[in-house]
Amino acid sequence: MAGQVRDYWRNFIGGEWVDAADGRSIPIVDPASGEVISEVACGGAADIDRAVAAAHRAFESRVLLQMTPAERGELMFGIAKQLDGLADEIAEVEVHDNGKTRPNGYKEVALTQRYLRYYGGMADKLEGRQIPLGDGVVDYTVHMPFGVSAQIVPWNGPLPVGARSIACALITGNTVVLKSPEDSPLSLFLFAEACERAGVPKGALSIVCGYGAEAGAALVSHREVDHIVFTGSVETGKSVLRAAAERVIPCVMELGGKSAGIVYRDADLDRTARNVARGIFHHSGQICSAASRVLVHRSIHDVLVEKLRIEAGARSVGPGIEGCDMGPVISEKQLARIEALCRAGVQEGAKLACGGRRLDRPGYFMPPTIFTGVAPQMRIANDEFFGPVLVVIPFDTPEDAIRIANGTDYGLAAGVFTDDLRLAHWTADRLIAGQVYVNDWWVGGVETPFGGAKRSGYGREKGQEALLGYVQTKNVGIRL
């Protein structure tokens, strides 16, 4: 297995592939086996300082701003094209350092290319405006980049999540230093190879793998960082914001979720069960907008639970190389956390319809898990598992459903299942969430803005609106 992945990976800093300044490395563990399969250079404060310095020099040189917007767009198209030749290796490392199935590894490449082409096409369409101030005055606005954009991406989808923020930054003239996740960094190094081959100017992009407490902390507190993009947990997000506050650095924050799907009595239950199961069990539930809570009208509760249990039981769990439906969770630490939260649910009085403990085999495998008898105040109804665990909560009226759905600290996503269009609109209007899906889960795409409300963060990724998080408005007034 280890022979299918390169033995050692260097960081990409200032256009060069380099070892860590202090010579350290991080072991890469295959979550499907628990075995070390590779090593990556462990970036620390000195490596981050070198990367930020290169990004700062590149920004000051105006190497990106001297390109026309159309040329910056062509650069994104070039990166996407280079990924064609790297797709097989990316899919392989996604299986072995991330736990994805091989088909999902290829889908990560296709999604990444979609982001690059979408934002490449947007590069020459971000326009300012002219403001009439009367005779003798010309006044207009332009979009101005911030400078060095520090970006920290999560381990569950590092390639597309990293690519979309890199693309937004580069086409608007910012330079980037990205910290890749130590649990799953390899696909982003292959992305860096694609950028190098496509001719991204030296220093405009650096990718450094390191531990959050070292490399991440050094990056977000660096004196020459002008902008921060963070995707991750609420607790880590708070520490990022504290560092940003010291220097008044603008941030785009995409944090956790405990997203609720509301199922009304008139919903198509077969379709609902399929979509909710996909929403919570895809990638073993390791998705921030996963359908982790389902609120079901009491009259259909038992019927839907049985359909969900059947959906869960139909999914095979095992290594991605074996063609299973669900792979492992990312690490022993994450698996232990999921199991501990499951035990807490049982202690609180919730009942397991299926799952609840790891599979008895090597690797970090958690089967599809469903809790019933869940009350809104229970810990399992409020804390994010970030695993394949669904909690089912009954409700009696639409008002009850809204109160329960909005009753957590999170507000990332929500869902509505009903054949009543008026009720769907009424519910979507009252849900406090950055995106609401109706009669499906993950309705939308690259084109639709994505982000949270409440503790789930602020700012938007994806869609045209994302670009506004990477620029600031400059006004120019001229007395003729």
Angstrom distance (rounded) from CA 436 to CA 415: 5
Of the candidates 384, 389, 392, the one whose C-alpha atom is nearest the C-alpha of residue 413 is: 384
**Which candidate in 89, 108, 254, 339 is catalytic?**
254
SS3 percent helix, strand, coil of the chain, rounded to 5, is 40, 20, 35
Pull the structure tokens for residue 222: 């660096």
Measured from the Cβ of residue 473, the count of other Cβ atoms closer than 10 Å reads 11
DSSP state of 295: E
Q: Is residue 276 a contact partner of residue 442, using CB atoms and an 8 Å limit? A: no
Q: Is residue 286 a contact partner of residue 156, using CB atoms and an 8 Å limit? A: yes
Of the candidates 288, 93, 302, the one whose C-alpha atom is nearest the C-alpha of residue 190 is: 93
Angstrom distance (rounded) from CA 369 to CA 424: 28
- Between strands 35-41 and 137-145, the pairing is unpaired
**Burial class for 468, CB neighbours closer than 10 Å (0-12, 13-18, 19+):** middle
> Catalytic residue at 254?
yes
**Which candidate in 288, 311, 384, 461 is catalytic?**
288
Q: At 317, is the secondary structure helix, strand, or coil?
A: strand
Interacting residues of 387 by C-beta distance below 8 A, sequence separation 6+: 284, 285, 286, 329, 334, 335, 338, 366, 369
| Residue that is written with structure tokens 């930054």 in the block | 169
Task: For Cα atoms 185, 190, 192, give the angle at the middle one, nearest 5 degrees.
Answer: 95
Query: Residues, the chain, total?
Result: 480
Q: At 66, is the secondary structure helix, strand, or coil?
A: coil
Phi, psi of 208 (to 5 degrees): -125, 130
Task: Enumerate the active-site residues.
Answer: 254, 288
